[in-house]
Amino acid sequence: MTKKLIALIFVTVFAAALNIEAKTYSYSNNNEDFDLSFKIGYYIVSGDSDLWNYNSELYYFEKDDLNSFLGAVGLNFHVTNHLTISFEVGATYGHTLTEYADWVDEDGFPIETDIELSVVPIEVSLKISPFGRGDYIGRFSAFEKNSFIPYFGGGVGAYFYSYREWGDYINFDAGEIIYAEFESFDVGVGYFIVAGFEIPMSRAMSFIAEFKQTWAKAELSEDFQGFDDLDLGGKTISVGFTMGF
């Protein structure tokens, strides 16, 4: 119900804003109607799951151990001077080698386990440029971008993830160390807010910087039976550039 409500609010706000804006502004052939964006950033996991808490108690593990770099490619349609619809695909991969906090093997060596999380977000968003992206100047009505273009917005996405653990584990019932692998693959639906700015460097290319806060969760496989949904949300700080067409 919550996800349907979020989607309904998003679509309603977008439709209303687009209708208002379309009455006061239209693009000409002199302006880039869309652009491609390329970004790299850093993904900081929220870690609001009982699985993260369990691992933190059992191992020398912190949720920040799975923070990772992120790459993303986007397609941005500037439907009006103040409104942009963006479609974006990204990828992030985090890995850490950890060990049991309170136990060692019979030779006194650490009992080590690998933990890995990768996420592929596919997102659509509505971004608002409150001061507009630019204006028409000159006798031929050429469109000139503003020197600084702040924006904010929000959207929804599908978050495909892979979570794996493998290594040596203690079988407390049998009192022995065994090798095992556990994995989970699924997709979750979430939403996010975003804020950033664009600085044109030429007619076709701009520098961009962006902050995004995401909320998303997905079910875990039977390998992690008994745990709640996995938290895939977090904060992302990214920079990059756009190329207009």
Report the CATH number that the domain containing residue 129 is assigned in CATH: 2.40.160.20
- Which residue did the predictor score with more confidence, 235 or 12? 235
pLDDT for 134: 85
13 pLDDT exceeds 80? no
Q: Which amino acid, residue 71?
A: G
| Statement: the pTM of the whole predicted model exceeds 0.85 | no
pLDDT for 32: 61
Burial (CB < 10 A; 0-12, 13-18, 19+), residue 192, is buried
pLDDT tens-digit map of 152-176: 999 999 999 999 999 999 998 888 9
In angstroms, the Cα distances linking 98 to 165, 166, 181 are: 10, 11, 15
pLDDT tens-digit map of 218-239: 999 999 999 999 999 999 999 9
- Counted domains in the chain: 1
Domain range for 112 is 2-244
pLDDT for 210: 98
Residue 26: pLDDT band (50, 70, 90) is: very low
